[in-house]
Amino acid sequence: MKKDNSAPTMKDVAKEAGVALGTVSKVVNGLPVGESYKIRVEDAIHKLNYQVNSYAQGLKANKTYTVALLIPNTIDPFFSSLAHYINIALMKRKYRMLLCVTDYDPQQEQEYVRMAQQNKVDGIIGLTYNPELIVEENTPFIAIDRSMGPKIPCVACDNFAGGQLAAEKLADLGCKNVAFLRVGSSLVNEPNKRKAGFENGCLSRGLHYEMKILENEESYEEFERFLSERIHDGKLAFDGIFCVTDRLAHYVLNMLRRLNQRVPEDVQLIGFDGVRAFGNIDYLCSTIVQPVPEMAEICVDLLLRENELMKPPLVCLPVSYAYGGTTFG
Amino acid sequence: MKKDNSAPTMKDVAKEAGVALGTVSKVVNGLPVGESYKIRVEDAIHKLNYQVNSYAQGLKANKTYTVALLIPNTIDPFFSSLAHYINIALMKRKYRMLLCVTDYDPQQEQEYVRMAQQNKVDGIIGLTYNPELIVEENTPFIAIDRSMGPKIPCVACDNFAGGQLAAEKLADLGCKNVAFLRVGSSLVNEPNKRKAGFENGCLSRGLHYEMKILENEESYEEFERFLSERIHDGKLAFDGIFCVTDRLAHYVLNMLRRLNQRVPEDVQLIGFDGVRAFGNIDYLCSTIVQPVPEMAEICVDLLLRENELMKPPLVCLPVSYAYGGTTFG
């Protein structure tokens, strides 16, 4: 037994067991050795309370079994739910996950990508709106919601179909005049297809529609002005509104209350994302639900696939509609 | 230059620069060497695109600059907000965070603790309700919300003061007959002090109070029965209710609606945690707010402190009251 307090090494185990160092190494790495040797080494490991040093193991395999998740924050419910399910999908495969909240900071994001190249992680799953981010082709990277080039797979829900579904649902529920409200960057990204899908749905179902698109969250009062200008004799020109996110729908719901419009009696409202109260209770509004557990599973599956040929540039997963009190059904 | 495709090693850098291996090691580790040597090594590193192998570095320092966060999930808004701010507090100190969602699985939790002992992380911050969890004294561990022994610091909000504040606030707002509703384990943990604090506040302010405590979430309908049995001629016996969490307050709010009780006109309602819609918009109910960013900061600070004597067994951080529409103010 060692007399000092330092952790026992593989050498100490070899000495205790009375075998060569190589024999201990074989046992630790699961390689075949004679049964009597194996028992002696295992007894010594147990006696010394020897812990396998994962750094030494990682150095050998040049694999970390660690994946980094780049995400703006875990406060927004859509992001925190993604983080949760990606974590579970990785754990199922005995991988660990580094959480890297970026707060939309491009420098921070680039730093995490660099980390992957320093053998610190085996790959990255990233939700970033940073158009400047440089990801070299040999870095295993899966993008969520924004295509980053033909060699980097992008996973998203079927945003176009989601927009279309919102229009069709409003038509089914009796709406004739609808509006689409969006806030967000004009950057080419998957969620922008919600607009195109909604337009398509309106055209195919003969709905009159109007669009109001703002660049950033600070100008929410412009939505209120837009809506109030379309109220004549107390009656809003729209009987249906589709908001690009549940978050925006939450704000619009409050605006409509201030403008004395009843939801859903006067105007029906559909959001997008599928956010629930406290993460798993009721939907906060009627909504197009993103399949977050399935998106998480496919991100991890694609990242860890060895065969590069089996990595498609874009994977879109099906959305669904959920009633959340702001429509007739 | 190497002809094969393998990543360049420190040896390759030494050969390229025409210096000893030890010189490269010194430069990589920031130790002093002659300026001309330093330039030659740096040129070689640049030319070969040599990446420092973090495994080799970790092996040397026996430090990983990685901390594991054990948390039941990141779907619940209180948990996801904790994960967010702990991540930020670690990043500020150049530490990385492994997210380990446990889904309350004791085996999973024990596995993560074992990981810390295998040099895979420098320490653990854990929110666990597992009374069986074994954490050896030499494992750097910070517990959130539940004391795990005198040698393991526990960080919590001041739950007793929070309960007391809820009672005082209800008294200030004109309540005379109040109720405390709690769901949760009977395990000794910090949040259980909310009850004691509330009782204390009721006694000091002369409020009549009644308590209803359930063991698990499946029996929520018992709360509805409890409340409906206390309605006589359409009038509820309570004019104020304190719920142990905002999540429970959300359910109780729906129950009160079903029982035709108006909130706050007939009965005022206060929750606990400080959960906001979409993580950062309005409070979901009037609530006692946990100081999550400050709790995160102190967890990280305590974990990384070298001086064991400066690690107190329990740190309680101050709570505050926030209006969220379910009280008169």
Which of A74, A107, A258, A285 to probe by mutation at the B interface, max B CB count within 10 Å?
Answer: A74
What does the pLDDT read at residue A2?
Answer: 44
Residue A232 has φ and ψ, to the nearest 5°, of -125, 130
The residues in A 65-94 lying below 8 A from B, measured between CB atoms, are: 66, 69, 73-77, 80-81, 83-84, 87-88, 91
Please state the pTM of the whole predicted model. 0.80
Instruction: Give the pLDDT confidence score for residue B3 in this predicted structure.
Output: 45
Predicted confidence at residue B144, as pLDDT, reads 95
B6 lies within 8 A of chain A by CB? no
Residues 6+ apart with CB under 8 A from A29: none
Chain-chain contact of B59 with A59 (C-beta, under 8 angstroms): yes
* Cβ <8 Å between B87 and A100: yes
Nearest-CB residue to A119 (from B55, B59, B281): B55
Question: Does the beta-carbon distance from A51 to B80 stay under 8 Å?
Answer: no
Partnered with residue B157 across adjacent β-strands are B317
CA distance A142 to A126: 6
Name the nearest CA neighbour of A40 among A27, A49, A52: A27
Answer whether B97 sits within 8 Å of A98, measured CB to CB: yes
Verify whether the Cβ–Cβ distance A119 to B77 is below 8 Å: no
pLDDT, position A30: 65
Measured in angstroms, the CA of B134 and the nearest CA of chain A are apart by 16
Q: Is B56 on the interface with A (CB under 8 A)?
A: yes
Q: Show pLDDT as tens, one digit a residue, over chain A (329 residues).
A: 444 556 778 888 889 999 988 888 878 766 778 888 888 888 888 888 776 654 455 445 678 899 999 999 999 999 999 999 999 999 999 999 999 999 989 998 998 888 877 778 999 999 998 888 888 877 899 999 988 888 889 999 999 999 999 999 999 999 999 999 998 766 667 888 999 999 999 999 999 999 999 887 677 889 999 999 999 999 999 999 999 999 999 999 999 999 999 999 999 999 999 999 999 999 999 999 999 999 999 999 999 987 777 788 899 999 999 999 999 99
Q: What is the DSSP string of B1-58?
A: --SSSSPP-HHHHHHHHTS-HHHHHHHHTT----HHHHHHHHHHHHHHT----HHHHH
3 state DSSP class of B320? strand
Q: How far is C-alpha A92 from the chain's CA centre? A: 17
Q: In this predicted structure, what is the pLDDT of residue A261?
A: 98
- pLDDT value for B112: 87
For chain B, the helix, strand and coil percentages under 3-state DSSP, each to the nearest 5: 40, 20, 40
CB contact under 8 A, A101 and B87: yes
- From first to last of its 329 residues, chain B has per-residue pLDDT tens of 444 556 778 888 889 899 988 888 778 766 778 888 888 888 888 888 776 654 455 445 678 899 999 999 999 999 999 999 999 999 999 999 999 999 989 998 998 888 877 778 999 999 998 888 888 877 899 999 988 888 889 999 999 999 999 999 999 999 999 999 998 766 667 888 999 999 999 999 999 999 999 987 677 889 999 999 999 999 999 999 999 999 999 999 999 999 999 999 999 999 999 999 999 999 999 999 999 999 999 999 999 987 777 788 889 999 999 999 999 99
Q: Which residue of A has its CA nearest to B273?
A: A278
- Does A96 reach chain B within 8 Å, measured CB to CB? yes
Question: Is B285 in CB contact (< 8 Å) with chain A?
Answer: no
d(C-alpha B175, C-alpha B236), whole Å: 13
Crossing angle for the helix pair B77-92 and A77-92, to the nearest 10 degrees: 80
Q: Between chains, do B97 and A96 touch, taking CB under 8 Å as contact?
A: no
**Cβ <8 Å between A278 and B77:** yes
Partner-chain contact B91 A83, CB within 8 Å: no
CA distances from A123 to A140, A152, A303, B171, B186 (A): 5, 12, 7, 56, 42
Rg over CA atoms, chain A: 27
Query: Per the CB < 8 Å rule, is A80 touching B74?
Result: yes
**Residue B77 to residue B57: CA distance in whole angstroms:** 37
Q: What pLDDT shows up at residue A146?
A: 87
Q: Do B83 and A83 touch (CB under 8 A)?
A: yes
| DSSP label at residue B135 | -
B55 CB neighbours in chain A (<8 A) are 55, 58-59, 64, 119
Q: Which chain B residues have a beta carbon less than 8 Å from that of A280?
A: 75-76
Cα distance from A108 to chain B (closest Cα, Å)? Answer: 10
Q: Which of B80, B108, B120 sits opposite A74 (nearest CB)?
A: B80
Q: What are the pLDDT digits (tens) for B249-298? A: 999 999 999 999 999 999 999 999 999 999 999 999 999 999 999 999 99
Which residue bears the tokens 């908001």?
Answer: A243
